[in-house]
Amino acid sequence: MNRLKSIANFFIEVYNEFSSDNALKMSASLSYYMIFSLAPMLLVIISLLGIFYGQDAIQGQVFGQIQGLVGKEAAIQIQEIIRRAELSNRSPLALTLGIGTLVIGATGVFGEMQDSINRIWSLRAKPKKGWLKLLINRLLSFSLIISMGFILLVSLLLNSLLDVFSSQLERLFNSQMVVVVYIINIAFIFTVITVLFALIFNVLPDGKLYWKDSFIGAGFTAILFMVGKFLIGLYLGQSNLSSTYGSAASLVIILLWVNYSAAILYFGAEFTKVYVKQYGRGIVPKNETVIVYEQEIEPKNLEQGQIPHVNVASLKGYYDKH
C-alpha cells in the first residue's frame, strides 16, 4: 500500500510540475515552430541518408512512416512542401543560400525545444555574445539531426531485415513465430525512440544528466510516445477533420500530432526532473548556466522598498546529489 501511495504521489508531483510550467502552452509554441522546421529537417535527413541508402528508397520509407503517423493527406502535403524546397538545378549562390536557410530552418525547432526543457529543469544560460550562443545552439541542433538520421538509417536497415525474416518464418513455421518477430520489432522501435529521447535530454538542455537517469526518463517518455501515437492515430482516424477544416485539414492534422507529441515530450521531461530529484544524481548545470529559483513571498511580509531574500541553501537538496 505504501508503495502504491508513493507512486501516486510521484505522478501527482509530475502532473503539478507539468501544470505549473505551462507545458501545454510550450507544446503549442513548438507546434508553430515545427510548421516551419519540419520540411527543412526532413529534407536534410533525406539528403544525408540518400548518400547511403538511395534518395528514392529513403523518400519512400520516410513518407511511409509519416503516412502511418498523420495519414495520407497530411503526408502528401508534407511531401509537396519538401519537393518545393529541394535545392537541385540552382545557381551556386542560390544553392549556398538555400543550404544555409535549410540548416537554420531545420534547427529552429530544437532551439525552441532547448528553451522549454531549460525552463522545465529551472536552468538559464548566462548572457553570452549573441552570435556565439546562436552558433553553439545551431551546432548542437544540427548534431542532433545527424544523430537522428543515423539512427533512422539503422532502423530502416533492421526493419528491412525483419520484414524479410518474418516472411521466411511465415513460410517455414506457423504464425506464432511471426508474432515473436513482431514483438522484437516493437522492442526495437522502443529502443530507437528511447535513444532519441535520451539524446534530446542530454544534448539540448544547458544541464547534464547521468546517462542512467536520462535513459530512465527517456524510456518512460518512449512508452508514453508509443501509446500516444496509437491513441492520436485512433482519434485522427475516427474524426472527420476534412469536413470541419476543409482544405486546411492537413495542416491541422500536423499541428495536432506535433502538439500532442510535444506535450508527451515535456511530460517526460517533467518526469525526469522529479525522478532525478527523488532518486537520481541531480541535474548539473553546464558552464555559463545558472539555476533559476522561484520563491513566492506575500506582499504583507515585505516592507516598502525591501528586496526579498532568496534562501539559496534550500536548493541544496535538489542539486547536491551530483
3-state secondary structure 149-163: HHHHHHHHHHHHHHH
Q: How far, in Å, CA of 187 to CA of 69, rounded?
A: 18
Q: How far, in Å, CA of 93 to CA of 97, rounded?
A: 6
3-state secondary structure of 49: helix
All three cell numbers of 196 = 532519441
pLDDT at position 317 is 45
pLDDT at position 272 is 93
Contact 283, 319 (CB under 8 A): yes
pLDDT at position 252 is 78
Q: How far, in Å, CA of 213 to CA of 208, rounded?
A: 10
pLDDT at position 319 is 47
H or E stretch including 285?
strand 284-285
All three cell numbers of 130 = 549573441
Cell 525483419 identifies what position? 162
All three cell numbers of 206 = 544547458
Tell me how many degrees the CA angle 315-320-322 measures, rounded to the nearest 5: 145
- For the beta carbon of residue 234, count every other beta carbon within 10 angstroms: 10
Distances (CA, A) of 61 to 19, 39, 53, 68, 132: 37, 16, 10, 11, 37
Q: How far, in Å, CA of 94 to CA of 110, rounded?
A: 25
3-state percent helix, strand, coil for the chain, nearest multiple of 5: 80, 5, 15
Q: How far, in Å, CA of 249 to CA of 130, rounded?
A: 38
Contact 37, 105 (CB under 8 A): yes
**C-alpha 244 chain-centroid distance:** 29
pTM surpassing 0.85?
no
pLDDT at position 216 is 94
Residues in the chain where the model's pLDDT stays below 70:
1, 48-49, 52-55, 57-58, 65, 68-74, 82, 84-107, 127-178, 237, 241-244, 246-247, 295-322
Q: Mark residue 238 as left, alpha or beta (left: phi above 0; alpha: psi -120 to 50; beta: remaining).
A: alpha
To the nearest 10 degrees (0 to 180), the angle between helices 23-53 and 72-85 is 60
3-state secondary structure of 207: strand
How high is the mean pLDDT of the chain?
Answer: 73
Tell me how many degrees the CA angle 221-292-266 measures, rounded to the nearest 5: 15
Phi and psi dihedrals of 48, rounded to 5? -65, -45
3-state secondary structure of 203: helix
Contact 140, 203 (CB under 8 A): yes
Name the residue type at position 138: R
Closest CA to 38 of 113, 98, 102: 102
